[in-house]
Structure formats: C-alpha cells, structure tokens
Structure 1
C-alpha cells in the first residue's frame, strides 16, 4: 500500500509521549511510510511463570505499534480505536527485548488494517496479528488538527 507518512520518527516519538501513559516502554526505531518498527523490554514486559514473555505483554506491544503505524499516515487521531484483532502466538518468547514490525496494509476513510509481527531477542517470530482500527471521519480529524494548531499557537 503506497502511502506517505505525515510524521517523522521523532514527531511520532514526541506525540506518543504526550498521548499514551507508559509510552516510554515502547521505543520507536523507524518509520518508513506505512511501516513502523518498535522495540520494548526487557524490564517492562510481564513474564509468565515459566520465564517467557506473557501473551498480554506481546499483544500490548503489537497493538500500540499498530496504532502508531496508522497515526504516522493520517496524523494524530485521538478518537481512533482498535475495533477488532486476531493474534497467533507461534512460539514462547524468550525474556529480553521484543521487536515489533507493524505495516498498514489497508487504509480507508473510516478504517485501517494493520499486520503486526513480533520477534523475541533471538530473532524468532513469536506472534503475528491483524489489527482493525476504526477511524474518525476526515472532517473530525481535520477539526482536531485545527484545534491542536490553535492550542499550539496560544
């Protein structure tokens, strides 16, 4: 899907720090138009009793990285929500950093579909998910951007 990012990696980092509690737990490495790569851990990832990274921790990282991937294409949209997702846990994730790549595969006026993949510190693919985000209308997004510009100018 050939879409152009409207935010740089530095802009995305600054925005994420403003809008998400605990965003410092996710380190954005790159923004490449419709693809975002992020790394999280090791200290902020919950482990299961057997010492592997928990499923909810992996899902959190994939959901947030997918959210950022859509945001860098459309700009900040606080009303964007995860509407549906599916996740497959493929292997136990070794403790340590978790690398997530999220790619927007479909961007429509009111929805976005993202494919996310998570790899553990060994580079082993440990989870894959499809995330469907519901987007506010373009008019609502434009009004939000105008409101933010006014606040930034005051």
Structure 2
C-alpha cells in the first residue's frame, strides 16, 4: 500500500483518529508519519503528552506493517516498549521514522523514532510488535 491508499484506509476504518496523522512517505519496510500538534495534545507545562507520542508510535508501526501486507484492519498491537528520552519542542509537529525489523506471517516488529520537527535528536523511541491476522480476516 502507498501513502494515499493507507490514508484512505485509515479514514475508512479509524475515522475517529485519521485526522491526527499524516502519512508523509511509505517505502518498503519503512514509513514517515506526522502528528500535527494541537492544544489537545499538550499536557500541563505545554509539552506534548506521552499518550500522543505513544499513539504516533503505534499508528506508525501499524502503517509500516499495512504497507507490506495490505489492508488488514484487525492487525493489533501485542507488545510495546517505549522510551521517552527528552522533552519535545513546544508548538511543533512530531514526526516518526519507522522501520520494520521483522515481517513474518504472524508478527511484525518495528522500531520507531519520534522527533520534534526541526530538531535532530529523537524525543522518544519505541519497539512495537503487531499480530498479523490470517489473510481474509
């Protein structure tokens, strides 16, 4: 699946959050996704909330997986390890760079780096595992 196809699929099956993510690029075994930061994504003190960063990591791993296996809405997160490494910059979008480390018949494992736009050092990193449903499910 390419970026427009994934965007359309997200709008179809996850319309409630589709506007929270912009699929910027999809390559074999990788993707780049943006979360346009709004006031609702901030926690007290004006920094981006942990749940916002987790959602970006989770959706990015989902997108990287779907890009390779096609539209399977029932692929689900089975494991996550996430490190919040530094405070995100205030008032700028978050961008994820995701690479699939393993893509098997039943599982995919992704590494996600999350950046504040314009800042070189990542603000968070995650390893996400997705269970892949059988074809046709």
Structures share a fold, TM > 0.5? yes
Residues 109 and 82 of structure 1, relative CA distance in 2, 3 Å threshold: same
TM-score by length of 1: 0.82
Q: Which residue of 2 aligns with 1:150?
A: none
TM-score (norm 2): 0.92
1:49 paired residue among 37, 44, 47: 44
CA distance in 2, matches of 1:26, 1:74: 20
Deviation at 1:88, TM superposition (A): 0.3
* 2: CA distance, partners of 1:108 / 1:44: 39
CA distance in 1, matches of 2:76, 2:33: 20
- In 2 relative to 1, CA 99–47 (structure 1 residues): closer, same or farther, beyond 3 Å? same
Decide which structure has the larger Cα Rg and report it.
Answer: 1
Q: CA deviation at 1:122?
A: 3.4
Higher relative contact order structure (alpha carbons within 8 Å, sequence separation ≥ 6): 2
SS of aligned partner of 2:32 = strand
Shift of 1:45: 5.3
Gaps of 5+ in 2: none
Paired residue total: 134
Question: Using a 3 Å threshold, how does the CA distance of structure 1 residues 44 and 131 change in structure 2: closer, same or farther?
Answer: farther
After superposition, where does 1:72-91 map in structure 2 within 5 Å? 72-91=67-86
Structure 1 partner of 2:104:
108
Q: Using the alignment, how far apart are the partners of 1:108 and 1:60 within structure 2?
A: 23
Q: Which has the higher helix share?
A: 1
After superposition, where does 1:51-66 map in structure 2 within 5 Å?
51-66=46-61
**Runs of 4+ more than 4 Å apart:** none
Q: 2:3 pairs with 6, 9, 14, which one?
A: 9
- 1:39 is paired with a residue whose SS is strand
Q: CA RMSD in A?
A: 1.3
Q: 2:12 maps to which residue?
A: 18
Residue 78 of structure 2 is aligned to residue 98 of structure 1: no
